[in-house]
Amino acid sequence: MPRPAVNVAVRAARAAGSVILRYMNRLESLTVVEKQRMDFASEVDRLAEAEIIRELKRAYPGHAILAEESGATGSGKLTWVIDPLDGTHNYLRGLPHFCVSIGMLDRGEPVYGVIYDPLRGELFTASKGDGAFLNDRRLRIGTREGLGGALLATGFPFRQRRHLDAQLGMTRALLQEAEDIRRTGSAALDLAYVAANRLDGYFEIGLKPWDLAAGCLLVREAGGRYCDFAGRDGIPASGNIIAGNIKVVQAMQATIEAQSPPELLKA
């Protein structure tokens, strides 16, 4: 049975998903702002986030919240981390790949996670120690022994384009052994797909906590591992993430570290 906090997050994610789908046929009329260079948000992001916060506060008024659009509110050891629309660029262009991501951190450690794809009706959930699920099916990460034949995913660092050459070097080195690399436009769904064995591994530079909280828990509860580019386990403060099964992560980390400037190896 899902934990009560997961049920609350599921309700919140479904409420946000309804908002997201409701506006899909009127994308051209949406108000869109550029928060920083190449980082956009729409009124749908804000409306969906408001729905999530309303549900979470109704059930847990004393919990802290860290949300992509409205920032941090409250304090305490338990924090809900929210990305109301991960894949905003896809959504605004009508590309059918985006999701709602809600995670709970207990003093920085992910303990509950929900990722909801409203278009496909796919609900990924995880609780610390209880496993990861896609709808009602338990997820188990893939068993690939290394990079040979691996299907990987990444995202290019639009917030940190100064690292583009380094990432192209990583991509080139990984493709010496891996089968292919995808760039889907949703970090949360990439992590969920790793947990679901649709992808063998994932890496990206400069992500934010709301990109990672729920997806990293899914990976771990499905039997996988996540670390930073220097191989330190846990959600990295740097936002430089590698995820997959233990052997794939080991191989990816060695390859990526060899292509990383010192700045990308900092904690």
Give tens-digit pLDDT for 159-173.
667 899 999 999 999
- Mean pLDDT score of the chain: 93
Kindly tell me if the per-residue pLDDT of 26 is higher than 90: no
* Helix residue ranges, H only, the chain: 4-22, 43-59, 88-92, 164-174, 187-195, 209-221, 246-259
Phi, psi (rounded to 5 degrees) for 6: -70, -40
> What's residue 34's pLDDT?
58
Mean of pLDDT values over 225-234 = 98
pLDDT band at 197 (very low <50, low <70, confident <90, very high): very high
Kindly tell me if the per-residue pLDDT of 25 is higher than 90: no
Q: Give this prediction's pTM.
A: 0.94
> What's residue 38's pLDDT?
45
pLDDT band at 43 (very low <50, low <70, confident <90, very high): confident
Phi, psi (rounded to 5 degrees) for 3: -70, 155
